[in-house]
Structure 1
């Protein structure tokens, strides 16, 4: 994929610098994205050359920076549906509307009756970390008396795995197996790891990044460095914490990334059943890092790690199938209508909407 362009002056137009950024992306992904070569080999050179030609031809129609972002965003879907994004280089501040939306998406606990509790987990973002801990602590006495749990992760686009750790002792009844991931080692990826803390207010960000960089030492560029010193597979015994007797987990095609990691863990527990639809299928390539494109106006966020499940157990493009498939009724605009059906079922009744 080699393309040459001559620009008339040093001051590039919107079209010219958009084209410059678009040209750079396939080369960067093939060299630095943890799934770049896998996806390229699977779909083929001709597919990607044709896709790049097509999107380059459309650059002539754009008239604004936003239209350029939209065009590049469309091109990125040629590579992967998610865990691959384009955005402005400058950090965007939250608007009032965004803050309100965050408040609406806090974790929640509702007791449906003395035997059934509803736990809504709309995302695993950092702002939910302490909130979820407090919810579990404040409701501890009643939770201990409630044997049936409904956990709702519909629409949960992910976040950080550590956010859901506090709820695991309440649910998982037996040993679980976890498979780690590996970092793709390149000079660009090392630089990207260092940049991730620039806009991160987490107190331990620098320490985490240093651990990543240490794991890359001695590994040749282009190879993968394991995130753990072991074989990449760990066996975790259940805690001694009291467990829910029966757990129903509601999933859909918007459960993605760390939400899917959560589901992979819960499905191993004997007392858990998942209900709903397949998850999004965005888990194989993760840990996004920024790369500034040549124009200086845009950043490409791409994956720097690959799951050690591959190639034997892919999740991307397939998702995780539920134990019980439930076609969501469009008439059920209120998400709690389905929750009521599941509450009836978990106590021995029917899932049928007629019941």
Structure 2
């Protein structure tokens, strides 16, 4: 059985996409390194007199390793390792979010690069009773079954092969996990639904590898979190529940409509539960319609500066032309671009420190409970920093992601591989005031754990 499987692996390994003569990992790594050093707003903070020796050593090691890599996904893994030096969730390798036509071409290339393996019925049956790491697993949301087999190459010890996928994001036979053995975990890459390789570390448990559960094992109890972009429900005569899944600019109108549709409830009900769990951010203007309901006193905003470079100017200019940007925001962005063009190589203020003062305090809701978790980041954290200044607001749940001090991501195509590099172009002046939150997050007023029903806990708290 093992020899048959090895032959199948060898047959399929010949076909997957690798570098051409005009594209190699050393070239791509050097390109990414140059983009980050020139354009990342946090580079001078992160590479300073105390860290520069470590940074140069880290970079030299990655550059040497790049010479021996001949598969794009493995090159992205190396680049992700190198980017880890900056500890900034706003530096990412991803898909092309700007050009849909280009992304279609790129997606096809990435799919071509995915290794494929056919497992026989006999091999699958053997895996069902397998011990140790190998076996059949369900992914975190039970939408796919994965067979993890031993299969070594220079990068991995194990391969995860799709058996079935309800969501259709993967195809049976695709290798979407490539993992290397560690002491207490397996490290390697997981291909997401866009076939972008993400670096992962999966803790080894009795019946699980990270979020992957062995088939037939009992899942850990967790509360279901709706993936809806917006939702509302009257929980009682005194409690209104609102869900906002994203502050993405494309959801801004939905948020405004949600608030408008619930205007009577917001004006008459004493308690609001605002569920922001898994809201990864978006655009600040998306939460403008919510702010008046949490306001109790002037809100203090600490401003930010943007690094003026050619790439950053191009990125900001492109944002002004995307769908869903309100007219006033287009004017604002164009003004920022003009200031950047006049001060290349410098930081330019695009948001001044200010106090937001409204004409009145709304009598209702009297209490606002905001549910947040470790997946709340970026713009959502900006909103939470405003919200926590209100005497109406109680933050409940987990600490947030901690990705806000360097923000306003913009990007550029890789030089020859079908990926895009994104980086933060702005730097908050909170850093200079000792109020940075990156890699720490915002702490809740009341901590909740995975075994609790968060909405029920918020209801109990409101009813006190």
TM-score for both structures, normalised by structure 1 = 0.81
Backbone CA RMSD of aligned residues: 2.9
Contact 1:116 1:149 in 2 (8 A): yes
8 Å contact 1:15–1:63 — kept in the other structure? Answer: no
Q: Equivalents in 2 of 1:15, 1:53: separation in Å? A: 23
Query: In the TM superposition, what are the counterparts of 1:1-355 in structure 2 within 5 Å?
Result: 13=20, 17-41=24-48, 44-59=51-66, 62-88=69-95, 91=100, 92=103, 104-196=227-319, 200-202=322-324, 204=327, 207-219=331-343, 221-228=344-351, 232-240=352-360, 241-295=362-416, 297-312=418-433, 313-326=435-448, 328-329=449-450, 331-332=451-452, 337-348=453-464
Shift of 1:291: 2.4
Pick closer, same or farther for the CA change 1:166–1:121 going to 2, 3 Å: same
Q: Does the residue aligned with 1:248 lie in a helix, a strand or coil?
A: strand
Name structure 1 gaps, 5 residues minimum. Answer: 1-11, 349-355
Cα distance, 1:139 vs structure 2: 2.2
* Secondary structure, counterpart of 2:459 in structure 1: helix
Question: Which structure is higher in RCO with an 8 Å CA cutoff and minimum separation 6?
Answer: 1
Measured in 2, the distance between the counterparts of 1:14 and 1:338 equals 54
CA distance change for structure 1 residues 88 and 247 in 2, over 3 Å: closer, same or farther? Answer: closer
Please identify which structure carries the higher strand content.
Answer: 2
Question: Contact conserved, 2:397 with 2:454, CA < 8 A, in 1?
Answer: no
* Whole-angstrom CA distance in 1 between matches of 2:270 and 2:233: 14
Give the secondary structure class of the aligned counterpart of 1:295.
coil
Corresponding pairs, count = 323
Q: Deviations over 1:43-82 (max 9, x none)?
A: 6123222322343344356443333333323322222331
Q: Distance in 1 between matches of 2:440 and 2:50?
A: 16
Structure number with greater Rg is 2
Task: Tell me how far apart the structure 2 counterparts of residues 271 and 244 of structure 1 sit (CA, whole Å).
Answer: 8
1:283 is paired with a residue whose SS is coil
The residue that corresponds to 2:211 in the other structure is none
What is the alpha-carbon distance in structure 2 between the residues aligned to residue 125 and residue 279 of structure 1?
A: 17
Moved more, 162-171 or 297-306: 297-306
- Residue 272 (structure 1) shift: 0.9
Provide the C-alpha distance between the structure 2 equivalents of 1:202 and 1:343, rounded to a whole number of angstroms.
34
Deviation at 1:239, TM superposition (A): 4.4
Cα distance 1:236–1:14, how it changes in 2: closer, same or farther (>3 A)?
farther
Given the superposition, is the C-alpha separation of residues 311 and 96 from structure 1 closer, same or farther in structure 2, using an over 3 Å criterion? farther
Separation in 1, partners of 2:265, 2:318: 44
Distance 1:122 1:84, change over 3 A: same
Task: Determine if contact 1:29/1:36 at 8 Å carries over to the other structure.
Answer: yes
Give the secondary structure class of the aligned counterpart of 1:41: coil
CA contact (8 A) 1:169 1:243 kept: no
More helix by share: 1
